[in-house]
Structure 1
Amino acid sequence: MADILYTYKGSVYANITNKCNCRCTFCIRFVKDGVGDADTLWHKTNPTKSEVLDAIRNFDFSGYDELVFCGYGEPTCQLDILLEAAAFAKKEKHLKIRLNTNGQGSVENGRDIVPELAKVIDSISVSLNAPTKEDYEKVTRPLHSNGFENMLEFTKRCREEIKDVRWSIVDVLPQEEIDRCLALSREHDIPLRIRKKT
């Protein structure tokens, strides 16, 4: 059975689904089965809400102050579980909640989900991946049309509702693309984090 909660680089992560609406060319799940202390993050079947809540309830969070929703899938593809599990972790475990997302959550769920997220999420990291629509489509390969525009709109909406919002890219991009991502970051006043490839 795949791990629902796992630790990586001093943080606790919640792996609540393997469903994803992107097929990023660099995605780590195409390279190895697990990350951090998880042998595998591939669920045979995606966990139920009660299984996720039980995992959070039974986990020893001593020394940790944050739970990050990020695994081998896009957390907003299981929005109901995400929202309830985040609320539970905040109330019962007194944790800060971060969401790592591809920014397709609103189109995936057919509505603006940002107000719902804002009630339980303290910070959001959105995968920018590329500075232009053309490059984004090549690298991210979103299943929904207008993926780049969806991601931009989602991130801007998050900035209106949630204090701590940032974009992220991986440092495998050519320097020219990194520079253009930085320019986009300045244009939209959204901080950019450049992550090292794991």
Structure 2
Amino acid sequence: MKNERGIKMVILYEVHDNLYVNMTNKCPCACTFCLRQTRDEMNHSGSLWLEREPSVEEVKNEFSKFDMNKYKEVVFCGFGEPTERLDDVLEVCRFIKDKYNKTIRINTNGLADLIHKKNTAPMFDGLIDIVSISLNTPNKERYLELTRSKFGIESFDAMIKFAENVKHYVKEVVLSTVSTTLTEEEEKECADICKKIGVTYRIRPFED
């Protein structure tokens, strides 16, 4: 869609076989490795920086411009943390499920409980199929150093607790790290954390 000045505002964009949803640029973290520090777009999407946040209705209307049969998943992941707009995201998810019956994934930092000051996991029930959380490191001090979360040192434990809670409401929970950032020992520690709380561990490739 276009903003008031006639400039295209990218809400939905394609990555491989999936359709991504960009609803906010807000984030409680300022990660040292965040891709938005070095680029404006993903996969030739056009700039993912939003002059304003689109309304729920504007987001819903964008889907009619795409052939939804093409996509394996709808993924909430743009230049911001999707759970900053959790109520709005879930309203869009209801629309997607009712109209298109697509698998829905949220890529998140896992800090929704700190953002909203409550246990948010039950809100995902019946709407989200996959939650992918950036684990980054097995060490809470290192986690804070990497993410620069505004919530401070409690962020790591809150993220782990969210992952453990949300697994009861969604089909699949994945904690991920980047392949080039950890030692083998640290990767083992991450795998152990995931095994302990009963979620999947994934080492994802580095994107520059």
TM-score range, shorter chain: over 0.9
1:185 equivalenced with 2:194 (yes/no): yes
Residue type of the alignment partner of 1:182 = A
DSSP-derived class of the 1:6 partner: strand
Deviation at 1:83, TM superposition (A): 0.5
Any conservation in 2 of the 1:41–1:71 contact (CA below 8 Å)? yes
| 5+ long unaligned stretches in structure 2 | 1-7
Q: Which residue number corresponds to residue 4 of structure 2?
A: none
Any conservation in 2 of the 1:8–1:37 contact (CA below 8 Å)? no
Deviation at 1:31, TM superposition (A): 0.9
Q: Give the whole-Å Cα distance in 1 for the aligned partners of 2:70 and 2:186.
A: 38
Work out which of the residue numbers 136, 147, 165 in structure 1 matches 2:155. 147
Q: Which residue number corresponds to residue 180 of structure 2?
A: 172
1:114 equivalenced with 2:90 (yes/no): no
Q: What is the TM-score when the length of structure 2 is the normalising length?
A: 0.90
**Matched ranges for 1:43-122 at <5 A:** 43-122=50-129
State, as a whole percentage, how many aligned pairs show the same letter. Answer: 36
Residue type of the alignment partner of 1:75 = P
Q: Alpha-carbon deviations, 1:132-161, whole Å to 9, x = none?
A: 111111111111131001101100001122
Deviation at 1:118, TM superposition (A): 1.5
Across the aligned residues of Structure 1 and Structure 2, the Cα RMSD in angstroms comes to: 1.3
Any conservation in 1 of the 2:84–2:112 contact (CA below 8 Å)? yes
| Higher mean C-alpha deviation, range 75-84 or range 160-169 | 160-169
Q: Give the whole-Å Cα distance in 2 for the aligned partners of 1:153 and 1:57.
A: 37
Residue type of the alignment partner of 2:162 = F
Work out which of the residue numbers 156, 164, 167 in structure 2 matches 1:159. 167
DSSP-derived class of the 2:193 partner: helix
Point out the structure with max Rg over C-alpha: 2
Deviation at 1:187, TM superposition (A): 2.4
Any conservation in 1 of the 2:137–2:182 contact (CA below 8 Å)? no
Q: Give the whole-Å Cα distance in 2 for the aligned partners of 1:2 and 1:105.
A: 25
| 5+ long unaligned stretches in structure 1 | none
Any conservation in 2 of the 1:104–1:147 contact (CA below 8 Å)? yes
Task: Report the count of equivalent residues.
Answer: 198
1:133 equivalenced with 2:140 (yes/no): yes
| Higher mean C-alpha deviation, range 12-21 or range 111-120 | 111-120
DSSP-derived class of the 1:161 partner: coil
Q: Give the whole-Å Cα distance in 2 for the aligned partners of 1:70 and 1:48.
A: 16
